[in-house]
A and B are shown apart, each in its own frame.
Chain A
Amino acid sequence: MTPLSLHNYLIVGAALFALGAIGFLTRRNLIIMFLCAEMMLQGVALNLVAFSRSWGNMQGQAFTLFVVTVAACEAAIALALFLVLFRYRRSLDVSLWQDLREPDQEATVDDESLPEAPKEEPMPRLTPAGHEPKRPQETSPV
């Protein structure tokens, strides 16, 4: 079996990037969009690694390490932000957040109605320190 050549990797990377891009542009759920963005990042990272291997030096891989790190940080911040955004509007629809437009511009309104927002569920709460958490009863002994 011949070893995979460079363009095999590149094709996979490009596919990842393209899928991610399409997903980012078409989906309106913030979390999905974020995941798509991650996918684009990974497509690029794959390219970097592939080139690194092809040229036989470490620079691409070093870059990739950074990309991964940045992606992780991003994820942390982004998800925290999403949580806050969700608290404001009870929705993750990105089109609800278009306030940064020019003052006299009309808001872009979707013709199709959105699916019903999920019913409000109580947020999970952490038990305050010093209390014993309530555990569910063990139903069956080990």
Chain B
Amino acid sequence: MGLDQPRLELLALLLVPLVGGIAVALLGPKRGDAVRWTSAVVAFLTLFLAIMVTGRFMRLHVSLAEDIAAVRAKGVPTFRPEFVPGSPGVKRDENLKPVGEDPYGTSWNLLPLGRGAVQFYIGVDGLNVWLIMLTAALTVPAVLVSWTYIHERVNEFYAWLLILQTAMMGIFMSFDIILFYVFFELSLVPLFFLIGIWGGSERRHAAGKFFIYTLTGSLITLLGVLGVVLACYTKTNGELTFSIPRLVEIVHTRLALPDRAEQAYWAGVQTWVFLALMAGFAIKVPLVPFHTWLPLAHVEAPTAGSVDLAGVLLKVGAYGFLRLCIPLAPDVSLSLGLPLVSSLAAVGLVYGAYCAYSQDDIKRLVAYSSVSHLGLCMLGMFALNVAGVMGSLMQMINHGLSTAGLFLIVGMLYERYHTRKIADYGGMAARLPILSACMVFVCMSSVGLPGLNGFIGEALSLMGVFEQQYTRGQFPIYGVVGATGMFLGAWYLMTMLQRVFFGPVKEPSLAGHGHQAPITDLTFREVLTLAPVLILCLVIGVYPQPMLDTARPDVGVIDSIATRARERDRVATAEREAARPAVAENDRQGVAP
């Protein structure tokens, strides 16, 4: 069976960094170089595996695109992961007798619970494949950039870094809701230590705040997770399932029933599920006003930590919205989520940009720019149509690349001059020309210059928002706000560029940092660290279509979920209108061509 191989590769993608992390930890703190090389090998191996998996998945999706679409058009919309390790799961009847294959499960049970089991159910689909790729791709620069930066407890550092990679991979791959949650929480631990041990002067406070803030939110998320499992359990004669595709299927089967009581029940459940799930994800994204842990954590984190935090971990929040919130609470996503999340995102987009402008610390500035960019990402996602969701997905990847690039460069600057204050710098373009050229490039990518990656995500997201608002007959306020973000982004980044890199040379004093090697431009290792990020920025900007094609069927799932929700909403509104005397009829005529 040819398909068996990618299953093992997928498993290896999870296990290689984990084993590598443990091995690195066991090497001991004395053998610094061995630790570094091992980590680099592990990171490259993971990247290689990720490329293999992605390549196979792309081929699968291209060759089967029409079949997939045909199969999906029939049933209720739900996810369908590929390359799931283990054989297909077993479906049981009420007496626990096996009655056939379960397409939404695997035979690898982790925790059997009578009628169901928490399963080791991982897989790849269009929504997560590029995020897995991003995680693998960003670990390489994260390892390389720490090469000379970390001197103390080297083995522990790299061990935590690799375990963090495992956890992030696990989050994206999981199709079991409990497994997802376990990885979701697990990712906090390595980052807590990365910030708390190797961070800056305020590291303890930052690590504590980061940990407690995000943990609080995700505990509420756990309630939501359990809530939706229990709701499905009670409504299906005791079928206990933790498989996300199956849960989505159950929710949508029940929602399609023409039963008033059933609908009222799900309306209530959805609201609470949505709010509970949102609590954790909104903090993780972060949506304003739940963002204050982010600048602190970023400023204190070592460069590698910032890269992983901004590049990958922030996407976990957005990904959670996409994977759980919208499919499991579709009606509420439309009625409550759309105005709530969109307005928070729009506010965050502008507010983050303003806060970014006035920062005097480069890393803080980049951190606030993340708030702004992810605002646009959420705006696109809650357009709830193909263009918007696709744009949001692209924005996740692109923000991951460009912000990681920014953090890498700021880290390299910090490694040379030991300060991140904007006021301490000036005219770096004359002193460090290659580094500055890279910085201008990455800034342009972040600003959304067409031809680089940022533009694709921005354009698609905004087009989604305009489509959604225009077809609803509303003034496209979110779209307009989103477009102003394009100016604001340029505003703070250009100002930072001007202050730090242009003008007369002004070097921070190196007094108090001991004897130092003379300041040089990028070394070969640093070029190697940055080059992949920059090349990816360019490639995605010029030719993003393969990525879009790969993600298309599964974004289509989200779209058809949202379409059904819109349809239900329309029917319900029509019924309400019919019940009332036809006063409001004229109002509705004016709306929506």
User: Is chain B in direct contact with chain A in the complex (CB below 8 A)?
Assistant: no
Chain A residues in the interface with B (C-beta under 8 A): none
Residues of B near any A CB (own CB < 8 A): none
